[in-house]
Structure 1
Amino acid sequence: ELANAADCYFSGHFNAGLPNAFGEYDETPEIMQQELADFAGRGFLNALGGCCGTTPEHITALAQAANTGAPRALPEPRHAQRLSGLEPFSISEESLFVNVGERCNVTGSAKFKRLVLEGDYNTALEVAREQVENGAQVIDINMDEGMLDAHHAMQTFLNLIASEPEISRVPIMIDSSKWDVIETGLKCVQGKGIVNSISLKEGEAPFLQQAKLCKRYGAAVVVMAFDESGQADTAQRKTEICARSYKLLTETAGFAPQDIIFDPNIFAVATGIEEHNNYAVDFIEATRWIKQNLPHAKVSGGVSNVSFSFRGNNPVREAIHSVFLYHAIDAGMDMGIVNAGQLAIYDELPAE
């Protein structure tokens, strides 16, 4: 996986096995040569050497093993978004829609909020496990609750996730409206996760500072369609803010475009206010524009927001989500924050 993705040279420096009870190394030059021959023969190396326990005879054997294959050629650059938990996860233009599990969010799940407030993190961990088992390829973690020490809760929960390979195999999306909580999460997450989110709400200087820190931590980033004048609620405003953000990120912050995920704001429809009737269409049209004009950037959004007016009526909400996603994915939406276990299939929705 790394060999197909990394545009740098690979070097290997091998021990003569593990030290024995006396601190000595038992692998002979012949054993090391045999073990390395397959690795080198598959073209994974550009340079090699010996480390603990090796002698000039070992180095000679390693050099002979290296001759079984050609040096590794650098791969052609591919603009895939490469994330990882314990396992790598790549999102390319050919990838199917990515489900980001939404239930580990104290602002969106009453059950998860209660468990975290009670300090029952082990049971809360089962919420994350269920999301992964139900098909979430990324899990969103949010601890923004006024009665909660968000720093402690984020750190505790992420450390527990790290101890569960079945959960930590997927990438983590660190979700908070507070930058210091996001940074607490970034210090806990191994692999390459996603920050959710940054925006131009407070101007360009804080936006760029946070973007550069995300880059330093090696995270992809969700960028909200939000600027100094507020949240964008029309297709034109959404595209203007996303275009401005893209230019700043790629030209000033040095951010890789494939690590930018735009969230053009999914708002609730059917609120009874006429101006809100076109909110879903505005998101879809903004998505289409982003995919056509901001190369390699991804598009995401909180899908359950679109049906918020129908809370309490789950069958209707699930149908709305399915119809919305059908059209949004067709326009280029790459991923969405969803309840991974409750997505209805569009073609199976009853006509009524």
Structure 2
Amino acid sequence: MPALHKTSLLDAIETRVVIGDGAMGTMLQDANLALDDFLGLEGCNEILNDTRPDVLREIHRAYFDAGADAVETNTFGCNLPNLADYDISDRIRELSEKGTRLARETADEMGPGRDGMGRFVLGSMGPGTKLPTLGHAPFAVLRDAYTEAALGMIDGGADAILVETCQDLLQVKAAIIGSQHAMDKLGVRIPIITHVTVETTGAMLLGSEIGAALTALEPLGIDMIGLNCATGPAEMSEHLRHLSKHSTLPVSVMPNAGLPTLGPRGAEYPLTAPELATALGGFVSEYGLSLVGGCCGTTPEHIRQVADLVHGTTKATRVPAPEPGVASLYSAVPFEQDASILMIGERTNSNGSKAFRDAMLAEDYEKCLDIAKDQTRDGAHMLDLNVDYVGRDGAADMAALASRLATASTLPIMLDSTEPAVLEAGLEHLGGRSAVNSVNYEDGDGPDSRFQKIMKLVKEHGAAVVALTIDEEGQARTAEWKVRVADRLIEDITTNWGLRHEDIIVDTLTFPI
């Protein structure tokens, strides 16, 4: 990926709070649109980028006039599941580009915003209706469709991509990685903002706690993390507190105007403009948020009052305390355990457990899951998943087991294989943060080496990595040799691949001593 260059948006959030816009759907409902405006595709707001650009321009202008520094594009549904429902999935890139260009042109026509700051366009990327963790659609298919959407947004002039209303961590990864692939294709880099959606249950739709989301998403190379939708600001406070305390990234929020109630026109949102402004001003002063705006039910008047109040609010100084670790779909597990060493359950390993291997060969997946659950009950913090067995299709075995463990196990997974294709199959089925076991220099570190192939997967999927003290001469057999190889691995992985020291687990392979 090209080197990261700060955009004016990233410069802005270093010195001030950026004000986002409010709801798009609320404004479109009030625009008195006819079915003809949707070309008969009722409910497909994205088609309006083609048929009613005038309406979209007016909405963007209304939010800028109200004091927004940044507006979202009308591209929330420009993804494969949504547009496929209307048989127009071939228009993902086109409608993404048109929607982004409308916002870009409106921003440019209005000239500089407050204090001469630029007006920003955020390419809105919604979750779609298919959850890959539940097997609704393949990860790679969704990822490649998100690449098309991001290509359109970048072509249209987006300042950043906003992956929002995230409900399934694996879907979020598909959107982030797909967007990064688009940037690679075009040779550019714009920021990626990620907003997860936490329900009134206190977790994301599939049960992910905010700590699991942060652990899984921050290593993917995003530039800001936050929350939007589902609830009003009151229900978001503790989750924002966690992000503010532990994320090394800027934090943002775009809540609904309170919890919706059913009214004569459908969902109605009770929070008034002054109430939203007071809540968001409090988040800025207490949690040091960098971008605030609104989601469902918020209007230009909400944003006007948010902007007026936040402009006079002193932003809290954040001193984050990261918690290095891994995560299952549901919860995070720190590497540093208060009352124990980090225990890795090895019985889900076809080379180390005959019972597991026999169950895998018989495709008795319930037995495999029972073995995993036994290790959880016995106190493991992570499960080692190894399916390598002579004569088997390792990628297929890994896909079958990783997809089941993704929802059946509360523990993170260490993917254990020497084959890049097998590791990739696992990573494409696990929404949490995995550890990849392992890399070494057995066949060197050249472009075609196993080390390079596996590190590309580790970097792309934001995984932690196990580094073995093996070099071109073989397994290191003395302490000095082991330290030398470990130093080389750590320097290589941090310098050339951008991982942090705390992302690396060094296995010193002590048996040869």
Structure 1 residue matching 2:422: 3-state secondary structure: helix
1:186-205 map, 5 Å: 186-205=427-446
390, 393, 398: which one pairs with 1:146?
Answer: 390
Q: Does 1:180 align with 2:421?
A: yes
Partner of 1:276: none
Shift of 1:215: 1.6
1:2-81 map, 5 Å: 2-16=243-257, 17-18=259-260, 20=262, 22-29=265-272, 32=276, 42-43=286-287, 45-60=289-304, 62=306, 71-76=315-320, 80-81=323-324
Shift of 1:2: 2.8
Shift of 1:75: 2.1
Partner of 2:407: 163
1:199-278 map, 5 Å: 199-205=440-446, 206=449, 207-267=451-511
AA paired with 2:256?
N
Is the CA contact 2:327–2:432 (under 8 Å) kept in the aligned structure 1? yes
Farther-moved stretch of structure 1 (127-136 vs 250-259): 250-259
Deviations 1:196-215 (CA, angstroms, capped at 9, x unpaired) = 00111111122244324312
327, 330, 337: which one pairs with 1:84?
Answer: 327
Deviations 1:221-269 (CA, angstroms, capped at 9, x unpaired) = 00111111211222222122112212212222222111111111132xx
Q: Tell me: CA distance 1:238–1:161, structure 2 relative to 1, closer, same or farther (3 Å).
A: same
Shift of 1:33: 6.0
Shift of 1:147: 4.0
Is the CA contact 2:466–2:504 (under 8 Å) kept in the aligned structure 1? yes
Shift of 1:88: 1.8
Q: Does 1:122 align with 2:363?
A: no
Shift of 1:45: 2.5
Q: Tell me: CA distance 1:265–1:50, structure 2 relative to 1, closer, same or farther (3 Å).
A: same
AA paired with 2:475?
Q
In 1, Cα distance between the equivalents of 2:459 and 2:465? 9
In 2, Cα distance between the equivalents of 1:176 and 1:12? 39
In 1, Cα distance between the equivalents of 2:405 and 2:374? 13
In 2, Cα distance between the equivalents of 1:251 and 1:95? 33
Is the CA contact 2:342–2:381 (under 8 Å) kept in the aligned structure 1? yes
In 2, Cα distance between the equivalents of 1:234 and 1:204? 22
Shift of 1:160: 1.1
Farther-moved stretch of structure 1 (177-186 vs 20-29): 20-29
Is the CA contact 1:29–1:61 (under 8 Å) kept in the aligned structure 2? no
In 2, Cα distance between the equivalents of 1:65 and 1:98? 47
In 2, Cα distance between the equivalents of 1:236 and 1:81? 28
In 2, Cα distance between the equivalents of 1:100 and 1:177? 18
In 1, Cα distance between the equivalents of 2:362 and 2:312? 60
Shift of 1:49: 0.6
Q: Tell me: CA distance 1:152–1:20, structure 2 relative to 1, closer, same or farther (3 Å).
A: farther
Deviations 1:96-155 (CA, angstroms, capped at 9, x unpaired) = 410011110111111111111111101210111111121111111000012432211111
Farther-moved stretch of structure 1 (83-92 vs 152-161): 83-92
Partner of 2:128: none
Q: Which runs of 5+ in 2 are unaligned?
A: 1-241
Shift of 1:24: 4.0
Deviations 1:298-324 (CA, angstroms, capped at 9, x unpaired) = xxxxxxxxxxxxxxxxxxxxxxxxxxx
Shift of 1:87: 1.0
Identity of aligned residues (%): 30
Is the CA contact 2:420–2:453 (under 8 Å) kept in the aligned structure 1? no
In 1, Cα distance between the equivalents of 2:324 and 2:362? 37
Structure 2 residue matching 1:98: 3-state secondary structure: coil
Task: Give the TM-score of the pair, scaled to structure 1.
Answer: 0.66
